Structure 1
Amino acid sequence: MSVSVVIPCYRSARTLPVLLARLMPVLAGLSVRHEVILVVDGSPDDTWETAVELARGTEGVRALHMSRNYGQHNALIAGIREAEFEVVVTMDDDLQHPPEQIPLLLAALEGDRLDLVYGVAHQEEHGFLRSLASQSVKAGMAGALGVRTARTISAFRAFRARLRDGFEGLAGPHVCIDVALSWATTRVGSVKVHMMERDHGRSNYTPRLLVRHAVNMLLGYSTAPLRAASYLGFLIGVVGLLLGAAVLWHFAAGDTTVAGFTTVASMIAIFSSAQLIAIGVLGEYVGRIHGGGMGRPTYVVSERVGPSAVLDLPRQPAGAGAPVRAGVGSGSDER
């Protein structure tokens, strides 16, 4: 088994040297061919400079510099497409995912029973609101997107590199690696691992951003919102029929009193709200179709540091159908 470790990096200048100092002995102890790919996602601090120093001074480490901040999942797609070895491990850059737990993920992949393994914390390491938002996102993936294993999903994962063939045509600014992996396999498992507290700072995934991520997944990978709008319209229609029947019943009974202004205004507001919700959902889908037609890239790699045969391959636009081995931009490749 050969292993590529992909680490998306953002505001991690302080943690990367510590992470690599712990990670490289673990990979060496596995006695397998390995590489580490640091994907710096447009970080505003000195993360890129730190990654360059590590790539130049550590054998088997490469660094990719995104031209701007595209988001964690976009950075992961970039690193996964650059990976050369047969198993890909993804982990965070904040030391919450202990490198010493990687052998547990790889051991679960041995044999042919599983293609994808998630590392699940023995105990949730986030606060109440953050954990609630995270669980809500996973529940939405399980229900609306049909990802049966969504409740065990985490950013600490190991999978066979061949799974990327299932999403080689994935393009556009809104991507979700876990949904893409679910397209390629159903042989998914999980193992319990010990997660650590963040070394410093706080997570960029606030409850608000998690909700936004959930909306992106629903609109980008599911038609559930359209069905929900249809169900809402049907429900409002039933309410209207019941109200009409009630009015006719009172009229037949001799009660010809005209309903008050408050009742009429409330019903108009309800029907108008349902219409606007349905129009809004349709507008979101049309907007995403329009955005996709503009050809916005999933990512653009501006610089690469580190020796690799992959760097000698022809350049292709990031976001094209074929697996991207090189980004678009005026950056340089350093050996």
Structure 2
Amino acid sequence: MQPHRISVVVPVYQGEHTLNALIDEILPLTKTQTTPGGRPLVVEEVLLVFDHGPDGSAAVIRELARQHDFIRPIWLSRNFGQHPATLAGMASSGGEWVVTMDEDGQHDPADIGGLLDTALDQQATLVYAQPVNAAPHGALRNAASKSSKWLTTKILSSENSVKYQSFRLVLGEVGRSVAAYAGSEAYLDVALGWIAGEVTTSPVQLREERGRASGYHLRSLLSHFWRMVLSSGTKGLRMVSLIGFLFAVGGLVIVLYVLASYVFFDAGVEVRGWASTMIVMLFGFGAVLFSLGVIAEYIGVAVKTAMGKPPYLIVSDPASGPLGRRNATEPPA
């Protein structure tokens, strides 16, 4: 049986101190190995997508590419973020299967065989790693992650959001197709769900990150969540309609209450309650402004797509081009 050919895509933002260890773990898989289910596999390429992080990752990528023929550096024109960088790697891949994983060492390359077995056993085109232990991010971030997935599952009816993980295996032609048409504001896993057939999970054990701070902060995590909401279709707009309906019903109830109070209880007495009126108005205007904000976000996504904003742009290694020739004596960065 011919081995299943796998491309590994690694978005690199802060990988200066973790990439070497990760490649050392992937190295045995570049020779034909056998999965726990007895299927042969081989990692034929590792695509390191440089996303212009703050450390010396670029130099490490260049050195790894000199040492190993299977390393393929992918250079982006600027920082685009983890999902666009992953899309760029998928678009450049050539394997029958594409595995995406983080640079920080919490994903074990030895689990790739299990992901492949699950895909073949269940005839799935997309397999997410399902951690059997808590993610090593701290209680607050883990709670926020669970809450966001619960919200998207219950409110936006996105069942697959519970499975979303950056450690995933996808059929190569599916991954490359998503990379070809996904817009700049599309959430990667939502876009994969648009065309993937069977979607399932495979159990893995997450490891501690290798001595580096997370590249995600509160603002970036909120942006990540909001992109997932906007990419989930027009359900957010339906939620706006629901909010308007609820406030309209609430207003009608208040009107009936005021009329009933005037007719049956306080006849001949001026109806009071300016404070209550102001509170109702503030809530009403708040609901209107919130609804307009959500609509504006959807319009913004549509405008960016219509203007042709690319999700990523692949360029040549800056050190090998004009930017690397700063002067005659200074070496390239």
Q: Same fold (TM over 0.5)?
A: yes
Find out whether 1:52 has 2:62 as its counterpart: yes
1:179-198 matches, cutoff 5 A = 179-198=190-209
Q: What runs of 5+ residues in structure 2 fail to find an aligned partner?
A: 34-40, 325-333
1:137-148 matches, cutoff 5 A = 137-148=148-159
Aligned residue-pair number: 309
Distance 1:127 1:255 in 2: 62
Find out whether 1:267 has 2:280 as its counterpart: yes
Give yes or no for contact 2:182–2:191 (8 Å, CA) kept in 1: no
Q: What secondary structure sits across from 1:7 in the alignment?
A: strand
In the TM superposition, residue 180 of structure 1 has moved relative to its aligned partner by 1.3
Q: Please, what is the CA RMSD of the aligned residues? A: 2.3
Q: What runs of 5+ residues in structure 1 fail to find an aligned partner?
A: 306-328
Structure 1 residues 266 and 142: CA distance shift in structure 2, 3 A? closer
The correspondence for 1:24, drawn from 14, 24, 27, is 27
Q: What secondary structure sits across from 2:148 in the alignment?
A: helix
Give yes or no for contact 1:164–1:184 (8 Å, CA) kept in 2: no
With 79-88 and 176-185 compared, the bigger mean Cα shift is at 176-185
**Corresponding residue for 1:12?**
15
Code of the residue aligned with 1:76 in structure 2: it is T
Q: What secondary structure sits across from 2:143 in the alignment?
A: helix
Per-residue CA distance 1:162-216 (angstroms, 9 max, x = gap): 2136535534432322111111124122111121101112222234422221111
Q: What secondary structure sits across from 1:138 in the alignment?
A: helix
With 241-250 and 170-179 compared, the bigger mean Cα shift is at 170-179
**What TM-score comes out, normalization by structure 2 length?**
0.86
Per-residue CA distance 1:2-40 (angstroms, 9 max, x = gap): 110000001111111111111111332425361110001
Code of the residue aligned with 2:200 in structure 1: it is G
1:128-207 matches, cutoff 5 A = 128-164=139-175, 166-167=177-178, 169-207=180-218
1:202-213 matches, cutoff 5 A = 202-213=213-224
Distance 1:112 1:122 in 2: 20
**Corresponding residue for 1:316?**
none
Find out whether 1:37 has 2:47 as its counterpart: yes
1:1-335 matches, cutoff 5 A = 1-30=4-33, 32=42, 34-111=44-121, 113-124=123-134, 125-164=136-175, 166-167=177-178, 169-253=180-264, 254=267, 256-303=269-316
Identity, % of aligned positions? 33
Per-residue CA distance 1:236-289 (angstroms, 9 max, x = gap): 111111111112212222153222321221122122112111211122222222
Code of the residue aligned with 1:142 in structure 2: it is T
Code of the residue aligned with 1:303 in structure 2: it is S
Q: What secondary structure sits across from 1:13 in the alignment?
A: coil
Distance 1:257 1:292 in 2: 56
Q: What secondary structure sits across from 2:45 in the alignment?
A: strand
Distance 2:247 2:79 in 1: 42
Code of the residue aligned with 1:92 in structure 2: it is D
**What TM-score comes out, normalization by structure 1 length?**
0.85
Distance 2:229 2:12 in 1: 26
Distance 2:289 2:310 in 1: 31
